[in-house]
Structure 1
């Protein structure tokens, strides 16, 4: 059985219920509310975001925010999710090396835009379990699922063994590198750092030779 690669429900019951509630808002109004959340995050971090503040900035009733999202963590997570987009979903080049390289290139192109917002909630992520759970479900889970799907296809094609112990570490390593890359700017100055990480670390761990390298070297 392949570790770390499993099927996932497309949307939890809780997320589906929240989506149904949000459908009562127009897309334009929803976007306005999300933009207010993002602006407050940029201005002062997670603690600066309050239901009262979002309501005042958007001239929206606070009760509406609670009815639509229930809690501040879910509102913040929804705003981040809308801003971020599931960038790895849909990547399928026909090879594991191609898929992981493509994901690395996409991540590198979006590095600054995504990292800025994630850094705004990084401390709160540690301090607030409810925010951590909401982020894991809404923002992180789609990316993990997409990376796991790449690995599952590679196993099906015979590129990697299903019992390769590195499989379960690919998604955490890949996403973890995205989070800490900015902490090592003096070491990783190139925007292609993630793609290089794929070639130098992930592919060798999976027993896959990166394209353009000599397998006999």
Structure 2
């Protein structure tokens, strides 16, 4: 371990997991109440009765603190998804995203404007929140190529992760059009899979029920 990493680890060890969670909860509350601009080191320190110097020593900057709090408040959506097929992977990703839709979208909207205006926040969020999700989606596509499900030179491959992540953002802007959680599944089946040249299996038809006749 480098001297710098050892020093950082020593600093982190001064805060218990419970204390870190309390600080992160305060950041999330401030984000929900007033967005990114409402979060200040002074405000977090006052709300948690923590020394401001401790916050700077632990996280260095406000963007790092906010990003760490966002990272703790959400689980990695797509990491670990591997159903054995591209159709299964993308549909599971859609299901998972839909199940976390309200909670995650609200928080990301709270920092969306700041994401554009503050390069340091943008870099921190990309590193800790966005890039792991994009990497997981790209891994699904790489496995699909290796299995021969899609062509390696299909230009649509490079657009899947941006489109998927973008759909999660714009869904809230078109609530009258995408009112329920099935929108992401439809997006996968009607947009992504055709663009990739992959065919979704037909849904099994419900068997017609026939009245049971007792034997005589």
TM-score of the superposition, structure 1-length normalised?
0.88
Residue in 1 that maps onto 2:78:
88
Alpha carbons of structure 1 residues 84 and 53: separation in structure 2 relative to 1, 3 Å:
same
Greater Rg over alpha carbons, structure: 2
* Bigger shift: residues 92-101 or 122-131: 122-131
10, 20, 37: which one aligns with 2:27? 37
Residue in 2 that maps onto 1:154:
144
149, 162, 184: which one aligns with 1:194? 184
Alpha carbons of structure 1 residues 127 and 112: separation in structure 2 relative to 1, 3 Å:
same
How big is the shift at 1:163?
Answer: 1.1
Residue in 1 that maps onto 2:209:
none
Contact 1:37 1:79 in 2 (8 A): yes
Residue in 2 that maps onto 1:207:
197
Alpha carbons of structure 1 residues 197 and 23: separation in structure 2 relative to 1, 3 Å:
farther
Question: Does residue 74 of the first structure (1) align with residue 64 of the second (2)?
Answer: yes
Measured in 2, the distance between the counterparts of 1:46 and 1:66 equals 17
Measured in 2, the distance between the counterparts of 1:99 and 1:196 equals 14
Secondary structure at the aligned position of 1:63 is classed as helix
**Which one scores higher on RCO, CA 8 angstroms, separation ≥ 6?**
1
Contact 1:18 1:69 in 2 (8 A): no
Count how many residue pairs are aligned between Structure 1 and Structure 2: 201
TM-score of the superposition, structure 2-length normalised?
0.88
131, 144, 147: which one aligns with 1:141? 131
How big is the shift at 1:24?
Answer: 3.5
Q: Gaps spanning 5+ residues in structure 1: where?
A: 1-13
Alpha carbons of structure 1 residues 191 and 15: separation in structure 2 relative to 1, 3 Å:
farther
Q: Gaps spanning 5+ residues in structure 2: where?
A: 204-216
| 1:20-31 superposed matches below 5 A | 21-31=11-21
Residue in 2 that maps onto 1:4:
none
Residue in 1 that maps onto 2:118:
128
How big is the shift at 1:21?
Answer: 4.3
- Over residues 170-189 of structure 1, what are the superposed CA-to-partner deviations in whole Å (9 max), with x where a residue is unaligned? 11000010011000011111
How big is the shift at 1:129?
Answer: 1.0
How big is the shift at 1:22?
Answer: 2.9
